[in-house]
C-alpha cells in the first residue's frame, strides 16, 4: 500500500532535511485541503507527523491535529509526534485517529508502551524506528527527533516488542529521508527476513517509481512517500498504479 506522509509544523506542511530542524522547507499548501486531495483520490491511509510535538511535546499542534482528524474520519489516519502518555493516545483515538505512532518513548520506556499495547491493542499502535547505518554495518536506532543515538539495537527492540504482540513497524532510514537518493533495500530485506510476521512500513529515500517497484518486489507491504508527492516528483495516482501492477 502507498501511504502519503504529511509533516506539520507552524500549522503548515513542511519537510526537514534528514530530520534537521535547521533545514526546514515550508510549502504553500493548506494541510486539510491537501489531505482531502488524497481522500478524493481514494487513499486508504495517510501518515501525519507533528514535528513541533516531536521536538517539544508541550507544544504539540493539538488544535490542528484535532481539526484534521475530526474532518477526515472516512480514512485511516496514523498520527505521530510528541506522543508521551496515555492521555495523548486516548485523546487522538477518541477523535477518530486509527493508529498512533510511537517513537522515542518505546526505546526509553518500554514498560509503558507494553501497557499501551495491552490496553489499546496492536492494531492501534505503530512502532516507529528511526535507523541509520553504523560504521560496522549494523543499524543504530535514533531517538528524540533523530537528535541522538540510543544504545539499543534494532534486533533487541523488534524481538522484545514481538513478545508483546506488536504488529505495525514504521522503519525510516534517516540518512535517506528527504534526500531523493533511493531506498535502502538492504535494510528492508534484512527486516523482512528476520521478522516475517511483522507488517513493515518503509520510509526514506523514495525518488522514483522504480523505488516503489523494488520495494514491492522484495515483499514490503507498505511504502510511505512524503516529499516526492509534495513536490510532484511522483504523481500519487501513478504510484498507486505502479504498486497495483507490480
Given 3-state DSSP classes, what are the helix, strand and coil percentages for the chain, each rounded to the nearest 5?
A: 40, 30, 30
Q: Strands 139-143 and 125-133: what pairing?
A: antiparallel
Which of 50, 130, 177, 211 does the annotation list as catalytic? Answer: 130
186 vs 192: CA distance, rounded Å: 10
Specify whether 130 is catalytic: yes
153 vs 2: CA distance, rounded Å: 28
**Grid cell in block for residue 172:** 525510516
Specify whether 173 is catalytic: no
Report the interhelical angle of 185-194 vs 209-218 (nearest 10°).
20
157 vs 137: CA distance, rounded Å: 18
What HEC string does 81-130 produce? Answer: CCCCCHHHHHHHHHHCCCEEEECHHHHHCHHHHHHHHHHHCCCCEEEEEE
Which of 7, 88, 173, 211 does the annotation list as catalytic? Answer: 7
How far, rounded to the nearest angstrom, does the alpha carbon of residue 95 sit from its chain's CA centroid? 20
Residue 119: CB atoms within 10 Å? 12
Which stretch of DSSP H or E encloses residue 20?
strand 20-26
- Residues that are catalytic: 7, 130
Amino acid at each position: 500500500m502507498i501511504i502519503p506522509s504529511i509533516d506539520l509544523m507552524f500549522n503548515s506542511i513542511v519537510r526537514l532535511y534528514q530530520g534537521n530542524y535547521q533545514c526546514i522547507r515550508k510549502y504553500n499548501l493548506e494541510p486539510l485541503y491537501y489531505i482531502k486531495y488524497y481522500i478524493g483520490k481514494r487513499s486508504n491511509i495517510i501518515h501525519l507527523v507533528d514535528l513541533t510535538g516531536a521536538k517539544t511535546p508541550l507544544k504539540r499542534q493539538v488544535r490542528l491535529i484535532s481539526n484534521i482528524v475530526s474532518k477526515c474520519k472516512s480514512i485511516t489516519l496514523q498520527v505521530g509526534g510528541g506522543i508521551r502518555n496515555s492521555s495523548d493516545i486516548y485523546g487522538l483515538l477518541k477523535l477518530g485517529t486509527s493508529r498512533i505512532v510511537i517513537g522515542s518513548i518505546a526505546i526509553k520506556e518500554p514498560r509503558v508502551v507494553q501497557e499501551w499495547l495491552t490496553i489499546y491493542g496492536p492494531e492501534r499502535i505503530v512502532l516507529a524506528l528511526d535507523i541509520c547505518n553504523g560504521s560496522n554495518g549494523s543499524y543504530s536506532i535514533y531517538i528524540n527527533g533523530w537528535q541522538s543515538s540510543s544504545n539499543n539495537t534494532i534486533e533487541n527492540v523488534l524481538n522484545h516488542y514481538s513478545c508483546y504482540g506488536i504488529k505495525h513497524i514504521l522503519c525510516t532510514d534517516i540518512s535517506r529521508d528527504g534526500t531523493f537518493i533511493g531506498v535502502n533495500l538492504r535494510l528492508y530485506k534484512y527486516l523482512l527476513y528476520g521478522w516475517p510476521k511483522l507488517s513493515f512500513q518503509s520510509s526514506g529515500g523514495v525518488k522514483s517509481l522504480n523505488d516503489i517497484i523494488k520495494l514491492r518486489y522484495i515483499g514490503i507491504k507498505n511504502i510511505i512517500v512524503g516529499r516526492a508527492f509534495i513536490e510532484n516528483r511522483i504523481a500519487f495516482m501513478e504510484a498507486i498504479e505502479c504498486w497495483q501492477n507490480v
